[in-house]
Amino acid sequence: MSEHTAPAQGLDAVEVPEPGAVTLVVPTFNESANVRRLLHQITESVPARMACEVLFVDDSTDDTPEVVREAAKDCPYPVAVLHRDEPVGGLGGAVVEGLEAAASEWIVVMDGDCQHPPSLVPELIEAGERTNAALVVASRYLEGGSRAGLAGGYRVAVSRGATLLAKALFPRRLRGISDPMSGFFAIRRSAVTAEVLKPLGYKILLELAVRSRPRQVAEVPFVFRDRFAGESKSTAREGLRFLRHLAGLRTASPAARLAGFGLIGASGFVPNLVGLWALTALTVPYVPAEILANQLGVAWNFLLIEQLLFRDRRAHRRWWDRLGRFGLLANADLVLRIPLIALLVDRFGMGVLPATALALVMTFVVRFAGTEALVYLPRRRGSRARRAA
């Protein structure tokens, strides 16, 4: 493998394949019962004329690396395993590390549970060469494809619903991709822009298509097989991560974040009004009740913004620092709005209603800009160092 795969667990270093070769990147998490069969299928399916290597990027807590090491001895092609002590980004993060490590012209990403047929690998590469595509997706939804390997009607419904939701949110980016939930695809190494990828969970194709989609895309049908052994990693927790991932992708642009910020802010009126009703019912005077109720809306907005808009920027400050800054900005909005309305009415002769509407818009934009700049942008270490000097 390439230089940065040198620490592969227990396997001898292998030479980088010549251009035109294929690297199969297989992310694994506790798939020890499947990897031997998968390597056997690759041996039977990939023609000898196609230079091939296999890289397992492993997050397992079982003996998967050791099983790969033993099975590799019987393979006619190079096999390596890169075990990650910290599974950053889940299986999607493992795929990104595999994409960065691979040196072949073509990289094929496939699961380690034998649900993706290795016999399709040559067809994926051939389709890419024939159409000059940089990305070739194995789709369950083309004629000749099937999702038969999905266990039960519930998983079928969830998969189909996730596909429809993704395509509805990203109609332009996913144009020509019928199965954005597929984990089986081939991509040219020249089209990989790993530095812009921020994977969360296992839907790495969606991440690739939205953040750095290659211009030319092709598809081939495939039949999704039954899992050979072990348990599916598609849990309710992964479903929630997928929804957070969708929200993060959809709000990646400033305009989308501004819209999301507005929707979240509007939703904050609900806990605010409920809190105000409860406090006044307890005979709390209106002014302190309004102040306290507003804090419920602030907390609600902060939780949603943390999870849906700025999840990937939370590491820059501690949570209590972010909460304090956000609370100050949100409450300053109330303090600034009334003088601003008075200024618009008295100085510029506006009516109360249009002045109030304009003040809401102005303070909203200022609060959004302040939240981005003062709460979630990284600290300027260089400027602090200059001041210290």
Per the CB < 8 A criterion, the answer to whether 211 and 197 are in contact is yes
Q: State yes or no: pLDDT of 383 exceeds 50.
A: no
Distance CA 320, CA 324 (A): 6
pLDDT band at residue 14, thresholds of 50, 70 and 90? very low
Q: What is the mean pLDDT of the chain?
A: 79
Q: Across the chain, where does the E strand assignment appear?
A: 22-28, 52-58, 79-83, 106-109, 135-139, 185-188, 217-221
> How many Cβ atoms are within 10 Å of 41's Cβ, its own excluded?
16
Phi, psi of 350 (to 5 degrees): -80, 155
pLDDT of residue 86: 82
**3-class DSSP state of 224:** coil
> For residue 294, what are the CA distances in angstroms to 122, 186, 265, 287, 355?
61, 51, 12, 11, 22
> What strands, in cross-sheet order, belong to the sheet with 22-28?
79-83, 52-58, 22-28, 106-109, 185-188, 135-139, 217-221
The residues spanned by each domain of the chain are 3-250, 254-388
Per the CB < 8 A criterion, the answer to whether 85 and 65 are in contact is no
pTM listed for this prediction: 0.65
pLDDT of residue 23: 92
Q: State yes or no: pLDDT of 66 exceeds 80.
A: yes
Distance CA 113, CA 109 (A): 13
Which amino acid appears at position 256 of this protein?
A
The pLDDT tens digits of the residues spanning 220-232 come to 998 877 665 656 5
> For residue 32, what are the CA distances in angstroms to 52, 58, 95, 187, 231?
22, 11, 18, 26, 12
Q: Tokens for 28?
A: 């694994």
The pLDDT tens digits of the residues spanning 85-118 come to 887 777 888 888 888 888 888 999 998 888 888 8
- Crossing angle of helices 269-281 and 286-308, rounded to 10°: 150
Per the CB < 8 A criterion, the answer to whether 8 and 82 are in contact is yes
From the list 109, 9, 2, the residue with the least C-alpha distance to 65 is 9
Q: Domain spanning 3-250 has what CATH number? A: 3.90.550.10
Distance CA 279, CA 274 (A): 9
The pLDDT tens digits of the residues spanning 127-186 come to 999 999 999 999 988 888 776 655 555 566 777 777 888 788 888 888 888 888 888 999
Distance CA 219, CA 211 (A): 19
Q: Which residues contact 271 (CB under 8 A, 6 or more apart)?
A: 293, 296, 297, 299, 300
pLDDT band at residue 388, thresholds of 50, 70 and 90? very low
How is residue 229 annotated by DSSP? S
